[in-house]
Structure 1
Amino acid sequence: MPSPFRLLAPAPRATRDTLSVVLPDGRHVDITRVRDPRARRLRLSVDERGARLSLPLRASLVSGDRFVAEHRDWLARQLDHFAMDALPHLQRDQTTALPLRDAQLPLRWGEGRYARLHEDADGLLFTLPVRAGEAALRRALRDFYEAQARVDLGRWLPKYLPTLPRAPSRVQFKVMSSQWGSLSADGVVVLDLSLVLARPSAFEYVLVHELCHLIRPDHSRAFWREVEARFPAWRDERDYFHAEGRRLKASLRALLSV
């Protein structure tokens, strides 16, 4: 019988540090090394935020270093795939276009009393006070993207509400690391802000997906029948996210420096 004191002990938490590695081409890269109590094996992964090595609690640091050394060629290829230089960046008076709804809109810069980004007949106009800092710049961009996302939401949501048992209690937009959306027990729909960079049909599909969880909280066949009844082309959008999802999330993070 397990000791009651052991049952009351807090679960071990993941710890992390940084491992520096030299790649075959001479590049020096930093890998986030995570000792994770949930890990069952050594795992090396790369995404838009960089490289990560996960180690089980009992794995030695030496075994982790050896594992990385054996996969240096793979690591170099993956880092090239997620090269941050290929992502859009926001620099005052230098950035000339911004992504929105699967397109690149021309961007102009001007001076104004407040930091504000808005769309007009010629594309986008970003006005800023002379002394506006980086934080104001990115806050204005995030506010613009959320406002645009809510415009899309306002176009789509009314046509689906009559087919639902209840309306969502609230819709929020967040920068999400892996998910595209979620539905809480109290009916709050959370959507990834990077959806506003995607093609509109993909954004609409994610909205429909989360709304259908108001009917079925699982991913059963019955759930997918509800999705298909409202959005027959959902498989095309799922394939789109498989191909473009990481790029979309990485682009938003680069622009907002999250």
Structure 2
Amino acid sequence: MTSLFRRLLPAPAAPSIQRDTVRLRLDDAEIEVLRVRDPRARRLKLSVDERGARLTMPPRASLVAGERFLLEHRQWLQQQLTRLQGDHLAPSLTLREPGLLPLRGELLPLRWQEGRFARVEADADGIVVQLPARAGEAAFRRALREFLEARMRADVGRWLPGYLPGLPRAPARLRLKVMSSQWGSLAPDGSLALDLALALARPSAFEYVLVHELCHLLQANHSPAFWAEVEARFPQWRAERDYLRAEGRRLKATLRQLLP
């Protein structure tokens, strides 16, 4: 009875991960560092990616120890952030000032017009942004995201019919989102997710990711059989995989710069 009673008791809840931020002064700016207290961590760890700086702490590490660790590694942090900023495809866009917008592996000139609604469009001369006189940064970023999503959906709509023969079914639906490390994923229900940063990549790399995820409808793994399916549909996949490995961090960082 005792052992049965113990089996019926609910399992203890897993320790939760706690998050907050701490400000740190660098050589040329003050930044926010995400501070994460993780029960699985065994030591203090500092990391930097396109989302910013992150300090991971074990449960028993004191806040003072964490702050001391940040100060000791401040120079390293400055170097990593500077390098990451240098990886961007284009300089930051300033509201209502001419600039360059990365799109489909190119840098296109961007110009501004006053309009009734916030809208981003492509024309023969590059990219034009229509923005109401009183609209601000948030309206522009929303319009830019809608533009990138529309371009990606148009590409998928053009490519997808050619790859459907030989597949058991079409994807159930398509979601476009900002992804940290992956370029795409296929859920068990057949929903296809693609990284919005693919709008900035060369079209052949974007098409490869689409084919890669479609082949998971046939092989839910990365076995030799899976890669044979990819090879049969997209023989140049290795070149595009290498391109994404070389340019991926820069593409993802640029997207986060464009859509903070």
- TM bucket, shorter chain: 0.7 to 0.9
- In the other structure, the counterpart of 1:47 is 49
- In the other structure, the counterpart of 1:158 is 161
Q: Work out which of the residue numbers 85, 100, 105 in structure 1 matches 2:103.
A: 100
* Gap change, CA 1:88 and 1:9, over 3 Å in 2: farther
Distance 1:26 1:129 in 2: 34
The Cα of 1:148 is off from its aligned counterpart by 0.9
1:225 paired with 2:228, answer: yes
User: Contact conserved, 1:89 with 1:95, CA < 8 A, in 2?
Assistant: no
Distance 1:129 1:69 in 2: 45
- In the other structure, the counterpart of 2:194 is 191
- In the other structure, the counterpart of 2:214 is 211
Q: CA RMSD in A?
A: 2.6
Residue type at the aligned position of 2:239: D
Distance 1:122 1:20 in 2: 43
- In the other structure, the counterpart of 1:83 is 85
Distance 2:22 2:49 in 1: 16
- In the other structure, the counterpart of 1:32 is 34
The Cα of 1:65 is off from its aligned counterpart by 4.5
* Gap change, CA 1:53 and 1:3, over 3 Å in 2: farther
User: Contact conserved, 2:184 with 2:193, CA < 8 A, in 1?
Assistant: yes
The Cα of 1:52 is off from its aligned counterpart by 0.7
Report the more deviating stretch, 214-223 or 80-89. Answer: 80-89
Structure 1 gaps of 5+ residues are: none
Residue type at the aligned position of 1:46: V
Structure 2 gaps of 5+ residues are: none
The Cα of 1:248 is off from its aligned counterpart by 1.0
* 3-state SS of 1:186 partner: coil
1:135-157 Cα offsets, whole Å, 9 max, x none, are 22111111111111112112211
Residue type at the aligned position of 1:90: L
The Cα of 1:62 is off from its aligned counterpart by 5.0
TM-score, with normalisation over the residues of structure 1?
0.87
* Gap change, CA 1:232 and 1:129, over 3 Å in 2: same
* 3-state SS of 1:239 partner: helix
Distance 2:191 2:40 in 1: 29
Q: Work out which of the residue numbers 6, 9, 13 in structure 1 matches 2:16.
A: 13
1:146-184 Cα offsets, whole Å, 9 max, x none, are 111112112211111102111111112111222211111
1:103-158 Cα offsets, whole Å, 9 max, x none, are 01111211222111111111121112222232221111111111111121122111
1:136 paired with 2:139, answer: yes
TM-score, with normalisation over the residues of structure 2?
0.87
Distance 2:165 2:69 in 1: 54
Residue type at the aligned position of 1:197: L
Q: Give the fraction of aligned pairs with identical amino acids, expressed as a percent.
A: 62
Aligned length: 256
Distance 1:54 1:6 in 2: 33
Distance 1:133 1:21 in 2: 29
- In the other structure, the counterpart of 2:254 is 251
* 3-state SS of 1:82 partner: helix
